[in-house]
Amino acid sequence: MAAEFAEVVVDAPYSRLDRTFHYAIPSALADQLRLGARVWVPFGHRHVEGFVVNLVDRSPVPEPKEICQLLDPEPLFDPVMLELARWIASYYLCPLIKVLKCFLPAGLKVTGQDVIGLGIETEEELASWIDYWETIDPPVAKLLAWLWENGETPVGKLGRILPAGRKDELLADLVERRLITRQTNVVRRRRAAEIVWPCRLGESVQGALMKPRLTVEQERALLRIATALDRGGYRVINLHGVTGSGKTEIYLRAIEQVLLTGRQAIVLVPEISLTPQIVAQFRQRFGSQVAVLHSRLSTAERYQEWLKIRTGQVSIAVGARSAIFAPFNRLGLIIIDEEHENSYKQEDDPKYHAREVARKRAELENVVLLLGSATPSLESYRSSLTGSYELITLNQRVESRPLPQVIVVDLREEIKAGNRSIFSRMLQEKLHERLTRGEQTILFLNRRGFATFVSCRHCGLVLCCPRCGIALTYHATASQLRCHYCNYGRTIPSRCPACHSDYIRHFGVGTERVEAEVVRLFPQARVIRVDVDTTARRGAYEEYYQAFRRGEVDVLVGTQMVAKGLDFPNVTLVGVVSADPTLNLPDFRAGERTFQLLTQVAGRAGRGERPGEVIIQTYRPDHYSIVTAQQHDYATFYAEEIKHREKWGYPPFLHLVRVVMSGFQETAVRQGAEMLGRYLAKYLPEGGNCEILGPAPAFLERIKNRWRWQIVLKGQTVAMLREIIQLATSDFEQNHQHKGLRLNIDVDPLGML
Ligand code: ADP
Ligand code: ZN
Ligand code: ZN
């Protein structure tokens, strides 16, 4: 017998509580309603969208309301996806409805609209009512006649017939007399016309079907992946291959095999490297079997791509992080390219990390997850060393191309030699060389570092927190240095504690300065700058990209945007104007990020026939992140970095949860954070390897007028930390209501700015 009741998660913004509601299933829907279906249900005084998460024979509440409508012919979620959503909701402490909505494209959205209909059936009846109202209240007579003529009409369109001030009152009265009906109907967005992906890269389609012969390393890697696919079952494989080792080709071959068995594949790439290049590679090999999901799609396009996946018209979904939710029902493989990338973490609720979600999905679907990177995250690499992941290594570039030569320039020497330009003598010389030879250069500067760390220009020393091991942050207002994890503070020394020079100051160079400097030194050079400011306009990135590709530009200046995914044969010089903003970020991952960025940036050079050169400028040439990046030596980098993580108690040894409290009044925020800190301390288990850092002002102390304070929890398991937070926040909410304070919780945070 079919279930009589449905447990529904409703989409109502004010039902902030993460709970479900029970509804009766009307007999008309009894046969069609399935788990995961989207429904239209009464909620309070209106109707909302909801999702069926359970079918039951009994309702805990007497006489629940009925479901009004089933919104789609098929359920939107299968049981695996529902379970995945539940896991995300619980792991990342996020209401289930938000997670479910995040699985769906915006184009599926429905809204309600109040529609008025006529409650009168015969023409005689109508005539007599019209006569009656003509004398008592003429607008009503007009309304009845209108409805007879036009049929059901949205309330909003009755403005010309009914006097605005009395509209609601009149309608309510007429509904009561049963002369009219009023109900909320579902309104769908208009279906978008079939959209054909604009294949602007037509030229590269030629020769598409020529697959390269695999290198020995590729062959070996593929064999191991193929074995895992054949064997079936859940498995995570780390594909650690140097830049240019041909990982993409391995992905393509693995997918071919998946398709042969009638299964489907998801490929995640970082948004930033979702360049036409990578998309073209997949289209060349698989043609119309590929759906592409990226943030530049319009709502309608996104919905179209989603539909193609849902209806099985395509077998491969290539996209940025949210493509992990692609609704395939015969999934066979998930690939994450550049798995270490930060953009896999969503910054808004649910603050999921696509790699973790992928792992869970692979586990639930019993499939292979392939993680590719030249610089694996410490988390993934450690898992492959401890044996829970498989590890495949590619040490060679294809066609025996050499890895680029990396030169580290010690900026301390430039100062001593009296060079005050932001370009070292070496960089100026090499740049000049490229310009005369007609070759291209990329100049790179990570601007996210702001001007916040204080370092010695003479010896390179950076002031760090003695408790947390991260760079101290300079606060101009208080003229103080502070640790934004634990709130340790100190004044700025007038002399360097290490070498006693008075060359100690904070850093401040942006990409604009770099561009200006190129123009100043080489007025004849054709320069473009690619960063968030210059590429805000839709299509701007593609324009710059194409111009650079066509050789109309000599020098490309950019932020991390240019670090990845680009493959230009004519680029023979890459200059990192300063590695220090990344290295000195107040973040325990600063060393890892520096290694990743330098490796990626360096990987841009020498992809063609001519070998490439890379110049890294820094005040800390001896730092292991820089030395190992220079030598393309991940293993040594890992060995150094993991020691620090263990010593200071950071991931992958401990988990972190970050709680940010924000509000418009500084004191209220600080006091609130202190109080929450006390509640948290109360629930901290003894000996559980748990620790509370802070409260401390967040690195970005104020965003959009809201002051921000943060507390960081460290602990062995996320489950334990979550429980402490749930108990403490519930205490906090009971005893410290409102005052406009907002809490933002981030499980396994990536950045802590
Ligand atoms: P990675 O992602 O490992 O940095 P790519 O997948 O971008 O490397 O490959 C680098 C270049 O080598 C690409 O231009 C690719 O087309 C080419 N390539 C890959 N495999 C082969 C092969 N077996 N023979 C020749 N060229 C190849
Ligand atoms: Zn010094
Ligand atoms: Zn500290």
| Ligand 3 centroid – CA 584 distance (Å) | 14
Q: Around Cβ 540, how many Cβ atoms within 10 Å?
A: 12
Q: What's the sign of the alpha-carbon dihedral 464, 467, 470, 473?
A: negative
Q: Around Cβ 657, how many Cβ atoms within 10 Å?
A: 22
d(CA 373, CA 241): 6
Structure tokens at 584: 């000195």
Residue 174 lies in a domain: yes
* pLDDT the model gives residue 188: 54
Residue whose C-alpha is closest to residue 574's, from 594, 547, 549, 556: 556
| Ligand 1 centroid – CA 248 distance (Å) | 7
* pLDDT the model gives residue 592: 96
Residue whose C-alpha is closest to residue 115's, from 145, 155, 142: 155
- On whether both 250 and 364 belong to a single domain, the answer is yes
Residue 203 lies in a domain: no
Among protein residues, the one whose CA lies closest to atom 5 of ligand 1: 246
Residue 624 lies in a domain: yes
Q: Is 348 exposed, middle or buried (0-12, 13-18, 19+ CB in 10 A)?
A: exposed
Q: At what angle do helices 79-91 and 354-365 cross, to 10 degrees?
A: 140
Label residues 206-244 b or e (16+ Cβ within 10 Å = b): eeeeeeeebbebbeebbeebeebbeeeeebbbbbbbbbb
Nearest ligand for residue 710 CA: 3
* pLDDT the model gives residue 233: 94
- On whether both 75 and 120 belong to a single domain, the answer is no
CB-side neighbour CA atoms (13 Å) of 644: 17
For ligand 1, whether the C-beta of 244 sits within 6 Å is yes
Q: Around Cβ 587, how many Cβ atoms within 10 Å?
A: 21
For ligand 1, whether the C-beta of 241 sits within 6 Å is yes
Residue 195 lies in a domain: no
Residue 94 lies in a domain: yes
- On whether both 639 and 677 belong to a single domain, the answer is no
Final residue of a structural domain among 109, 133, 168: 109
* pLDDT the model gives residue 345: 95
- On whether both 595 and 669 belong to a single domain, the answer is no
| Ligand 1 centroid – CA 249 distance (Å) | 6
- On whether both 430 and 396 belong to a single domain, the answer is no
Atom of ligand 1 nearest to the CA of 214: 23
Average pLDDT, the chain: 86
- On whether both 183 and 74 belong to a single domain, the answer is no
Residue 540 lies in a domain: yes
Question: How many distinct helices (H) and strands (E) make up the chain?
Answer: 21, 30
- On whether both 375 and 227 belong to a single domain, the answer is yes
- On whether both 581 and 444 belong to a single domain, the answer is yes
Is the omega angle on the peptide bond into residue 95 within 30 degrees of 0, that is, cis?
Answer: no
d(CA 342, CA 564): 12
Q: What CATH code is carried by the domain that includes residue 557?
A: 3.40.50.300
d(CA 236, CA 366): 11
Stated as kind and residue range, the H or E segment containing 136 is helix 123-136
pLDDT in tens, 82-104: 999 999 999 999 999 999 999 98
* pLDDT the model gives residue 476: 66
Q: 267 φ, ψ to 5°?
A: -120, 120
d(CA 573, CA 608): 12
| Ligand 1 centroid – CA 398 distance (Å) | 6
Final residue of a structural domain among 63, 79, 109: 109
- On whether both 550 and 436 belong to a single domain, the answer is yes
* pLDDT the model gives residue 449: 40
d(CA 736, CA 677): 13
> Beta strands 489-491 and 480-482: pairing type?
antiparallel
Amino acid at 656: L
Atom of ligand 1 nearest to the CA of 242: 3
- On whether both 628 and 520 belong to a single domain, the answer is yes
* pLDDT the model gives residue 204: 37
Residue 198 lies in a domain: no
Give per-10-residue mean pLDDT for the chain (753 aa).
86 70 92 91 85 92 89 88 96 93 80 76 87 89 88 79 82 86 63 35 44 93 96 96 92 96 95 72 91 82 87 93 94 96 92 97 98 96 94 90 88 88 94 94 72 78 84 75 83 88 73 86 92 74 84 88 67 90 87 91 68 89 95 95 94 94 91 93 83 88 84 92 91 76 92 75
Q: Is 75:81 a contact under the CB 8 Å cutoff?
A: no
* pLDDT the model gives residue 609: 65
Q: What is the DSSP letter of 523?
A: T
How many domains, the chain?
Answer: 6
- On whether both 411 and 396 belong to a single domain, the answer is no
Residue 697 lies in a domain: yes
* pLDDT the model gives residue 624: 97
Beta strands in 25-176 (DSSP E): 38-43, 46-56, 69-70, 110-118, 153-154
- On whether both 414 and 475 belong to a single domain, the answer is no
Q: Is 326:319 a contact under the CB 8 Å cutoff?
A: yes
Host domain of residue 468: 453-507
CB-side neighbour CA atoms (13 Å) of 555: 28
For ligand 1, whether the C-beta of 398 sits within 6 Å is yes
pTM: 0.82
Q: What CATH code is carried by the domain that includes residue 98?
A: 3.40.1440.60
Final residue of a structural domain among 89, 109, 129: 109
Label residues 265-296 b or e (16+ Cβ within 10 Å = b): bbbbbbbbbbbbbbbbbbbbbbeebbbbbbee
DSSP for 283-320? HHHHGGGEEEE-TTS-HHHHHHHHHHHHTTS-SEEEES
